[in-house]
Amino acid sequence: MPNQPAFLRVLVAHEMAHAFHFHMLREAGFQFSQLAWDGYTSLYLEGLATFVSKLLNPGFSEGVYFTFDDTGDDWVSFCKENYAGIKVRLNADLQHWSMKEVEWFRLRGGKTYGLDRVGYFVGTEFISSCVESMGISETIMLWGKQDIKPVIQQWMGDGSVPFGA
């Protein structure tokens, strides 16, 4: 739990981004009963919520958006320094996803690197690539228009987002 009101605002923005995202998808006719809750879904959802929380609460050190407190700078440094290997490992785990959610996207996970929710960092990088390629509105609605799995697979492989995904 964040120990300062400013950090709590970042956490609330993250969670409200999820609510807003789901609302927008529902308005567009997205059928949540048909989705696959897997690592691809988590990567997209958590990356988007983290990206939006940065937009809504600018000015914090980057770590705050991932840990919701002032301890995240070392976490971010580790992720940046080890990004290529983290991405390869996550990509391999995405291929065989049985119960890997805890490792990559949950508190009290992170046995591989000793850090929780490292998948948020990769997800935020994915969302940043999408926003660069197609803009924020299209990125928010991407899941409502197509299966995100092949888009993420392509990005995980070669770093590109299909134009207009």
Exposure letters 12-29 (e unless 16+ CB within 10 A, then b): ebbeebeeebeeebeeee
Q: What confidence score (pLDDT) does residue 2 get?
A: 57
Question: How do the domains of the chain map onto residue ranges?
Answer: 5-158
| CA dist., res. 49 & res. 54, Å (int) | 9
Question: What angle do helix axes 148-158 and 83-95 make, rounded to 10 degrees?
Answer: 140
Residue with structure tokens 């992720």? 79
Q: What confidence score (pLDDT) does residue 1 get?
A: 52
| CA dist., res. 63 & res. 92, Å (int) | 26
Query: Could you report the per-residue pLDDT of 74-114, keeping only the tens digit for each?
Result: 999 999 999 999 999 999 999 887 767 778 988 877 888 98
Residue with structure tokens 């197509």? 146
Contact 113, 82 (CB under 8 A): yes
Query: Could you report the per-residue pLDDT of 35-65, keeping only the tens digit for each?
Result: 778 899 999 999 999 999 999 999 999 999 9
Query: Could you report the per-residue pLDDT of 120-146, keeping only the tens digit for each?
Result: 999 999 999 999 999 999 999 988 888
Size of the chain, expressed as the number of residues it contains: 165
**CB-based burial of residue 154 (10 Å sphere; 0-12 exposed, 13-18 middle, 19+ buried)?**
middle
| CA dist., res. 117 & res. 103, Å (int) | 7
Q: Is the pLDDT of residue 165 over 60?
A: no
Q: What confidence score (pLDDT) does residue 119 get?
A: 95
From residue 118, how far is each of 6, 66, 155 by CA, in Å?
23, 9, 17
Q: What confidence score (pLDDT) does residue 12 get?
A: 95
